[in-house]
């Protein structure tokens, strides 16, 4: 795993994860390799969890 991956159970903010997603696309030049695709999918899942945690927090 990447050194930027937080330990299980910790959640980064959606903005932090979104920034990583944007950086990944910039590094990849718009076309993801298989490894980058796997990282992208992991980041999207983490982003969704961060968004959900904010919604629950707000409720």
Question: What does each of the 59 residues of the chain score in pLDDT, given as a tens digit?
Answer: 454 555 555 568 999 999 999 999 999 999 999 999 999 999 999 999 999 887 766 66
pLDDT of residue 54: 76
**Residue at 55 is within a domain:** yes
**Residue at 14 is within a domain:** no
Q: What CA–CA distance (Å, rounded) separates 39 from 20?
A: 10
Tracing tokens 């983490």 back to the chain, one arrives at: 46
Provide the domain count of the chain.
1
Q: Which domain holds residue 52?
A: 31-59
pLDDT of residue 6: 52
pLDDT of residue 10: 54
Put simply, whether the predicted model's pTM sits higher than 0.85 gets the answer no
């Amino acid at each position: 795993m990447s050194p930027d991956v937080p330990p299980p159970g910790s959640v980064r903010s959606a903005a932090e994860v979104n920034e990583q997603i944007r950086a990944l696309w910039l590094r990849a030049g718009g076309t993801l390799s298989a490894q980058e695709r796997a990282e992208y999918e992991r980041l999207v899942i983490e982003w969704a969890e961060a968004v959900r945690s904010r919604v629950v927090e707000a409720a």
